[in-house]
Amino acid sequence: MTPAPTVRALAAAPTCSNEGGTVNLNLSDTNGDSYLSQGESATYEFQNCEFRWWLGILSGKVTLQAVALSDANREIQYTFSSFTVKEEDNSTTLDGDLTLVSKAQPPYYEDTMKGGSLVGKEADDAITTLSNYVATYIERDDEDSISDAFDADKMDSTALGGSVGVKTSEPFKTIGENDYASSGNMTITGANSSSVKVTAESDGVHVNLAVDANGDGAVDQNFRMTWSALEEDCPIGTENSPPVISDTTQSSTNYSYDDLGRLIGATTTITISASDADNNPLTFSWSASNGSISGNTATATWQRVISVGQVASGVVTATVSDGQCGGTSTKELFLQ
């Protein structure tokens, strides 16, 4: 008989990298192997804990219950209690339950998040409560596609000023390198059965909003806008197309050495190409995961980090804007 699989990384509590941060682990180790196995649970209690590999400070409690841990099917239930993630000027506090189910059946790979109640509170006191919610993400290698769906019996939000229900009739599907879905639809229902049906258009750029304002089942107004404008909360009907950043990128690196031939510096020049369907003037900005980068055109100069005699790899992010609402595009470039 094959023993139940284990999550070996949970055998011991990690160590906080910041002074004064603490984390405690309580493992219900029923089989005595010191690891989280199927059917067991682990509770972490954080107090202002920061990790070198995590850009945030953790506080509060989270309990993990291992329901299934096979290679083809993993299911872990999370229960949050005042669990706070603080990142720079923002923080999110979670209370409630979330179950993560991962299934691998090539060419299908599916992740599902679901739960009965999950409350999220932001630093600005905005509160969102999800009741009986399910979010599904499916990746298909055979057609290079990603499908997303979200359903919730009730989503209560102080930012919305009330509650809505969400139902996905057809998952939103994104194909290839496209940023947005080219098929799929969902209906969001509010007070007095008023609703808006969100439908992806086949161009992968636009989305249609069919509004039933009085809840009589008839469409009162149709609005067409770009996905990027919807994403950025632009005025209803905004059709500005965001800039398109070409996949073609040019880069070259100059190296400097000391008198002994040791590498002491490296500068990489990066050039991208971008265009705008609306012919709006474009502005450029750059950031890098390490070192320093400068440039406000399609070309940037990156002063690299030298580590143990080698150039450290990193990620450069190019941001292109046409100055209009919904008119910002980004591209991440991984450079050795």
Per-residue pLDDT of the chain (336 residues; tens, 9 = 90+): 334 454 544 556 788 888 899 999 999 988 888 888 889 999 999 999 998 766 689 999 999 999 998 888 999 999 999 999 998 778 999 999 999 999 998 898 999 999 999 999 998 889 999 999 999 999 998 888 999 999 999 999 987 789 999 999 999 999 987 889 999 999 999 999 999 999 999 999 899 999 999 999 999 999 999 998 998 889 888 888 889 998 888 999 999 999 999 999 999 999 999 999 889 999 999 999 899 999 999 999 999 999 888 999 999 999 999 999 989 989 999 888
For residue 166 the two structure tokens come to 């969400």
Q: How far is CA 283 from the centre of its chain?
A: 25
With beta carbons less than 8 A apart as the criterion, state whether 157 and 120 touch. Answer: no
| Helix %, strand %, coil % of the chain (to 5) | 5, 60, 35
Torsion of CA 214, 206, 325, 292, to 10 degrees: 140
What the block records as the tokens of 170 is 């057809």
CB 13 within 8 A of CB 25: yes
What kind and span of H or E run contains 227?
A: helix 227-231
The CATH number of 244-335 is: 2.60.40
Region class of 125: left (phi > 0), else alpha (psi between -120 and 50), else beta? left
Alpha carbons 232 and 330: distance in angstroms, whole number = 14
CA distance 157 to 126: 7
Q: What are the residue boundaries of the structural domains of the chain, listed by start?
A: 1-105, 125-239, 244-335
Whole-angstrom CA distances from 139 to 135, 176, 231, 248, 323 are: 14, 11, 22, 26, 34
Q: In Å, what is the CA distance from 157 to each residue of 125, 132, 166, 198? A: 11, 15, 13, 19
